[in-house]
Amino acid sequence: MSPGGGTDGAPGATGTRSPGVYAGLELLAAGDPNEEVLGAALRLLRRGRAEEALELLDGLPGAGAPQDIPGYAPGVLRAVCLLAAGRPEQALDRLRALLDVFGPDPDLMRLTGLACTGTGDYPAAERAYLAGLHDDPHDIALLCAYAELCARAAQPEKADALWAWAAVLDPDNPELHRIRAGIDYVLGARRPPPGGGTQRPAVTGRGDR
């Protein structure tokens, strides 16, 4: 997979607004020893104040070296904040440390894909999404993130198929409309969602290289 045209200014260009990026963070924070700090940081993040959220998280143990992981929830929230702050390289370091400690799961693989996209490493992003989808081929957030990546890489048919499969799995998800608009923006297209895209795409292979 090779990068396509530029996507600066595209809706949700950082990928941090894809459905599921914040999903479960409240539940992860609940019961954590640092629940109060995590909740405050998440509220700042949702208001677009990622740098302030990071400053708040700096007071937690393990805020220094990426390999110092205070726990799953604080580590994931910090990675999301770094992505939202436009610091994908640092987010990737944090995510690699999380993967070393906790192993892969669809959420970590999605965030890893977003971080790799932010660094311009589209093949690594694709590998991360495929790894996550291998474990959970019905993960809407992963499918949408992968669709956005394919749009960036000028692969409209693949982007359409992934988005359409996500729409079949969860047709009432309001975020899908925003994702569709973002894909069309990136592709420079003004077209309705594809009508015949109800066939499940092949997303468990190695993908294009």
Using a pLDDT cut of 90, give the percent of the chain over it: 49
Q: Which domain holds residue 95?
A: 25-187
104-155: per-residue pLDDT in tens?
Answer: 999 999 999 999 999 999 999 999 999 999 999 999 999 999 999 999 998 9
Per-residue pLDDT at 125: 97
Q: What is the dihedral of CA 140, 141, 143, 144, to 10 degrees?
A: 110
In a domain, 31, yes or no: yes
The structure's pTM equals 0.78
Per-residue pLDDT at 12: 37
In a domain, 98, yes or no: yes
How many angstroms from the chain centroid is the CA of residue 6?
19
What's 133's domain CATH number? 1.25.40.10
Q: What is the dihedral of CA 196, 200, 204, 205, to 10 degrees?
A: -50
In a domain, 12, yes or no: no
Which residue reads 């990546």 in tokens? Answer: 149
Closest CA to 158 of 117, 118, 129, 124: 129
